[in-house]
Each structure stands twice: as C-alpha cells, then as structure tokens.
Copies of this chain bind each other. A is one copy, B any other.
C-alpha cells in the first residue's frame, strides 16, 4: 500500500480525519489504512466506524493489527507505545 493511502491520526478533531479518509475513497482508492499510536488509537477506531457507518457505506474494515513500538525520547531513553493499523476497503456492496 502506498503512503498516500494512509491517514495518520493526530491531535486534530475526529471529523478532520474522517474527511481525509472519505476523500481518499472518493478520489479512487480501493483500500486505505488508518494508523495511530497511544491515546489516538481510540480516535482511529472512531474514524473507521464513522466512515463506514455514515459516509462510505460500501467500505468495510478488512484487517486490524496492533503492535508495540519503541519510541526514542529526547533524553535517549526508549518508551513502549502501542500502535494500531486499521485497513479499510471498498466491497462494492452498500450495507
């Protein structure tokens, strides 16, 4: 999957990311990926759920993967942070 099909969830309002995902689908992507770390994971799930329930009814969640990432901090220490990847794809069927 190309990076341009990936939406990274950060500190903006949920609907900003929903619109980013909807725009990806409307511009011809069959498959998109939503990625988030730490507390943004809940928002990533909201983005996927709102997208498929309200805006792109032919889209469904095809895979969800979680991982633990080691992030290096400014002081050189590493902390473990959970991350999530939610894959969504068009099914061709409206639900």
Contact of A64 among B38, B42, B64, B82 (CB under 8 A): B64
Contact of A82 among B49, B67, B80, B84 (CB under 8 A): B49
A80 to chain B, nearest CB (A): 8
Give the interface size class of chain A: 20 to 34
> Is the pair B49, A38 in contact by a Cβ cutoff of 8 Å?
no
Q: B residues within 8 A CB of A50?
A: 68
Contact of A84 among B38, B40, B45, B53 (CB under 8 A): B45
A52 to chain B, nearest CB (A): 9
Chain B's closest residue to A40 (CB) is: B42
Chain B's closest residue to A42 (CB) is: B41
